[in-house]
Structures are given as structure tokens and as C-alpha cells.
Amino acid sequence: MLGTEFKKKFDAEPDSLHKEAIRQDFFLFMKKMDSIENVALIGALLKVKNLEDLSRIQSIRDHSEKESEFYRPTDQSADYPGGIDTLREEVAYLFYKEGVYSDVKTVKANVVFIVEKDGTISNVHAQGDNFTFNRQAEIALYSVSEKFSPAAYKGDPVRCRFNLPLTMQKEE
């Protein structure tokens, strides 16, 4: 809708200098909208991480969650619909590159998360040298649209840790 309104204004303007100003206004507006959306996603990420931290604290108190639960052998590993390449493509699509600030050309992170028994993702944690890249990777992982097929042990779904290395090359 916004694009249509800007296009109407752009098409109605006869002066090429004013057209360029309208085009620049549109790009600036869309960049600000991306920034606002990213701030909202970061807020959602913080809320999710806080809830997960509270849940983990409660689990420790209850002694209901055991580390061995994640390391037991599985008959079937967790799988994303379409496979790991599909997951990588979706993460790349959801990744907000403009939110990454880096002086180096190549930025890397190792994203570790848990695939729950119902196939949802939880406890996403990115580890790498660039804080902004790590946060954007976590947001992208939490935003994937599909559920995993959970890992299984003796036919029963089990929680498991999943590891996804990510690399971004900045174009100059």
C-alpha cells in the first residue's frame, strides 16, 4: 500500500528533480520501517530469551531437566522440512543484514539451539566475534516458519541440540 502511494506521487510529478527526491524519500522511509521492524524483533527476542532463562532457572530448581537428555543417542536426528539447505536459505532470507555493524569483510557465528519434542526451536544462542551478527542470527532462527521433525529415540520424540554455523561476506 505504501509503495503504491509513493508510486502515484512519483508518477504524478512532472519534474525529474522532484521525482528523484520522492524516490529518495521512499528509500529512506523503507529503511526506517526496516529499522523499526528490527527493533520490534529484538524486543521479541529479548522477551523470548527472558522467558527461556526463567524456564531454565525453574527447571534447575525442579531438577526435571537433565543434561544427559540432550546427549543420549538418537535413532533419528532432528530435521528441518526440506533439509539443512532449506533452513540455511530461510535464515539467509530472514537475516537483517543492515543490522550488522562490522569492520571486517567476513563475519562468522556458530548458532546452537534446541529442537524441542514438538519440533519448535528454543534456547537459541549465537557465538561469534560480532555482537550484532550474533543477535541478527538469533532473530532469524527464532523467525523460521516451519517446525523441525524432532529427533527420536526408540520411536519417541526427544529434545536435542542443533548446531548451525553461519558466515556473512560483506560486499564492498
> What string of pLDDT tens digits covers the 172 residues of the chain?
666 777 787 788 888 888 888 878 877 776 766 666 666 666 666 666 666 666 666 665 555 444 445 546 678 889 999 999 999 999 999 888 887 888 889 999 999 999 999 999 988 999 999 998 998 899 889 888 899 999 999 889 999 999 999 999 887 6
- Distance, in Å, from the CA atom of 5 to the CA atom of 8, rounded to the nearest integer, reads 5
pTM of this structure: 0.62
Cα separation, 90 vs 139, whole angstroms: 12
CA atoms of 96 and 42, how far apart (whole Å): 11
